[in-house]
Chain A
Amino acid sequence: MSGSLLLQSLILGILLGGLYALLAAGLTLYFGVMRVVMIAHSAFLILAAYLAWYFNRETGIDPLLSLLVTVPLFFVAGVAMQRLLLSRLRPATLTMMSVLLTFAIALTIEGLLGYVFTGTQRRIQLDYSGSSFEVAGANIAVVKLIAFGLAALSLLGLYLLMKKTRFGQALRATIQHPEAARLLGISTDRIAGYGFGIGLATAAVGGTALALDSTIYPSLHWHWIGPLMAIIVIGGLGSIPGAAIAAMLLGVTQSLLQVPMGTTWAQTVFYIALFATLMVRPQGFFGGRLAQRF
């Protein structure tokens, strides 16, 4: 492997890792506020990508502007989903049943996408789609950089929201100890709903970023959910920094392995890492008390 090829893979890996990190952060948020594993996260990701593509096709405006619609829409959908569906499940079997319920939502979204837009592969054509620039011999596509920028900005926003605002404080309190948070006067149900909405909003951002540089089709979400699930288990369920670090590491590893092994086999790195983690440290590498029981 030549030096410039290595550098190129490394940069592509970091760019991909950023997107993984944003999406895994959303998944971690759901798990934190409600102990829910949200299989439908990547289905919403593909839904957002389709909405961006549809927006671009119908209006001809840059798909990035579709974020103005999809982010609030997904936030509301997330709050509604938590309040109307997930909070109805019995607490004793919540984790298991939420997996099945969100799985059912994922199937429904996939089916509806296939029904409305057909199974044809779609791709957004932009005037800057093909443009790229060179850094020390490595070729970087502009769209990939924009996607990474979106992901990084959203992650930064999420970090500031969690650390600097009163709402973020309440959200973290709810994640750490719901009963104690309730005693302090935090309305944990409402906070959990908003947490869910924010998680789903990350899927809207991720989906738009995804639509910029890849071909989309309804069943694509299965290719995303496996790696994302592996990332949050390796990082430790419930830990956002853990998820972000695991996402970066695995994204880079996948990208580096793609050159000698090809794309299909490189994907197995997620699953190998998942099984290795389970054998060595079942609660994940950065997971604390939360991850122990799940």
Chain B
Amino acid sequence: MRSASKAPDGTTGTSGTTFDRVLLGGKVLLLLAGLALVLAFPGLAPDAFILSVGVTIASYAALAVGWNFVGGFTGYISLGHAAYSGLGGYATALLIIDGGLNPWLALGVGALGVAVVAVPIGVASLRVRGASFVIVSIAMVLILLLVSQSWADVTGGSSGLRVPRPFSDDVLRPEQHERFFYLHVALVAVALLVWWAIDRSRFGIGLKAIREDEDKAQSLGVPTFKYKLVVFVISAFFTALAGGMYALWFGYLDPIFQFSILIGSYMVLMSLLGGIRSLFGPVVGAVIVGYSLEYFKNQYGDSQFHLVALGLMLGLVVLFMPDGVLPAIGQLVNRFRPTATSIREESAADLLARTTKTEPRQAEEVSR
């Protein structure tokens, strides 16, 4: 990995220069502007359709951020995260319909239930790496699709399941969209906060070590399997919350759309396009991909052409931009960094003095 030698946030230790302060200010401004735009969106949307597109994109963002707990930290690419969003949706719906729970309580309990279910799945699938892991993740979705279609008594089978609305009927549709938009945004914010906290923790460093080289991480004493399992369960939990929230908003579940490999591939595409190593990568990716998906579906209607568009987009990202948009922008900005020259600031003599001074001390520590 090229970026492995750098610190995770891309800074190379030259903090304190004017350039860095300007950069930080720019980032904060950009973040605030983005936040303001997101919060003002329901007021700016001209009609209910645009508003519903906004909710869909927010839902994609929640799914992608949930996916990025596993994908971003450990580098295990799961194409089957639709399993957890679908389970979250069905768990929420069934807890409301059959369990008589309050919708919001059902959402939380359902997601916790999915997290519990994710433990044995994680134990089985995290035993293998790379390609086998992807195969297992796809298999998970296909199994759940088979089960949910065949087990019609519980899931409603192919005819689908109607989810009761959490808000009373006198709340009109645009109002519903607006409330769910803010709920989805809040979910994304919480998930991002957790991601950020893990990113800065010892746990996060261990996970990133697994991503860069799992065998080396293990030999350095990182409890790789435990770490992978914990982050896998966290990821399943947030993905299930996003799936449940979507079910409450959309009000209807169909196995073909819930347990679809397409949904899982959307999550991968969004995160990769935005950049799986960056905090906001999945969100940026969700906005780009979500908007394009809605555009393609609107333009080409019922024809299968949106699949071609999705396929081409994914192919181009994998071939030409596997690190994502945000890191690419970061590299572009770094070009303008005034200190980024090939000439070292310190002289060779300084360097020699520093290394000879520290080395004996290190040797001492090792011998002790």
Contacts and interface: CB of A to CB of B under 8 A. Distances in A.
A119 B135 contact: no
Interface string A16-53: 00000000000000010001010100000000000000
Contacts of B128: 233, 278, 282, 294
A99 B131 contact: yes
B131 A106 contact: no
A268 B143 contact: yes
Interface in B114-161: 124-125, 127-132, 134-136, 138-139, 142-143, 146-147, 149-150
A222 B305 contact: no
Contacts of A140: none
A282 B318 contact: no
A214 interface: no
A106 B127 CA distance: 27
Using C-beta atoms within 8 Å of the partner chain, give the interface range for chain A: 35 or more
Interface in B306-342: 306-315, 318-319, 322
A133 B238 CA distance: 56
Contacts of A233: 128, 132, 135-136
Contact of B304 (A90, A106, A114, A226): A114
B75 interface: yes
Contacts of B318: 89, 97, 100-101, 104
Nearest to A112: B308
A59 interface: no
Nearest to A223: B142
A140 B301 CA distance: 43
Given A37-B131, A99-B77, A233-B132, A115 B124 contact: no
A274 B143 CA distance: 11
B272 interface: yes
B1 interface: yes
A222 B261 contact: yes
Contact of A294 (B132, B139, B146): B132
The binding surface of chain A is classed by DSSP as helix
A35 B135 CA distance: 14
B130 A107 contact: no
Nearest to B213: A92
B322 A90 contact: yes
B322 A107 contact: no
Nearest to A99: B134
Contact of A105 (B132, B306, B315): B315
A96 B130 contact: yes
B143 A95 contact: no
A288 interface: no
Kindly state the interface size class of chain B when it binds its partner: 35 or more
A110 to B, nearest CB: 6
A99 B135 CA distance: 9
B127 A282 contact: yes
A93 to B, nearest CB: 7
Contacts of B309: 111
B79 interface: yes
B142 A108 contact: no
B303 interface: yes
A112 B77 CA distance: 26
Interface string B285-309: 0000000000000000001111111
A99 B79 contact: yes
A110 B124 contact: no
B311 A274 contact: no
A100 B146 contact: no
A271 interface: yes
A293 interface: yes
B268 interface: yes
Interface string A173-191: 0000000000000000000
18 contacts: A37-B135, A85-B315, A89-B318, A90-B322, A99-B77, A99-B131, A100-B318, A104-B312, A107-B308, A108-B311, A112-B308, A264-B146, A264-B150, A267-B146, A275-B136, A278-B127, A282-B132, A293-B130
Interface of B: 1, 75, 77, 79, 124-125, 127-132, 134-136, 138-139, 142-143, 146-147, 149-150, 261-262, 265, 268, 272, 303-315, 318-319, 322
Interface of A: 31, 35, 37, 39, 85, 88-90, 92-93, 95-97, 99-101, 103-115, 119, 218, 222, 225-226, 229-230, 233, 237, 262, 264-265, 267-268, 270-271, 274-275, 278-279, 282, 293-294
Given A97-B318, A111-B308, A222-B261, 13 more contacts: A31-B131, A89-B318, A95-B131, A101-B319, A107-B311, A110-B307, A111-B309, A222-B142, A229-B138, A264-B146, A265-B146, A278-B132, A293-B129
